[in-house]
Amino acid sequence: MSGERYMADSRTKVVHDLVKEENECRIDEIVRAGKELPFKRPDEAHKEGYMDCSFCMVASKMCRM
Ligand SMILES: [Zn+2]
């Protein structure tokens, strides 16, 4: 990781906001499995087919609706 705010789980295809990270995100497990994929912006992850995490990305999801 090099300062990117968002991190995607390449197993579940879910992107997380590290600033609003929740326990349910299991960020440590993703890192331990080596499946983390850093993104600077959520749009970049969405373009790759990643979905917003329903725990830490709730606010940004509401903004887009
Ligand atoms: Zn999350």
**47 CA → ligand 1 middle, Å:** 18
21-24 long-range contacts (CB < 8 A, ≥24 apart) are: 21/56, 22/55, 22/56, 24/55
pLDDT tens by residue, 21-60: 999 999 999 999 999 999 999 999 999 999 999 999 986 4
Number of compact structural domains in the chain: 1
**9 CA → ligand 1 middle, Å:** 9
In a domain, 1, yes or no: no
**56 CA → ligand 1 middle, Å:** 4
In a domain, 38, yes or no: yes
Q: Which pLDDT score is estimated for 3? A: 80
Q: Which pLDDT score is estimated for 63? A: 52
Q: Which pLDDT score is estimated for 27? A: 96
Give me the mean pLDDT over the 8-23 stretch. Answer: 96
In a domain, 44, yes or no: yes
**Which residues 6+ apart lie within 8 Å of 15 measured at CB?**
6, 7, 8, 9, 39, 42, 45, 46, 50, 51, 52, 53, 57
In a domain, 56, yes or no: yes
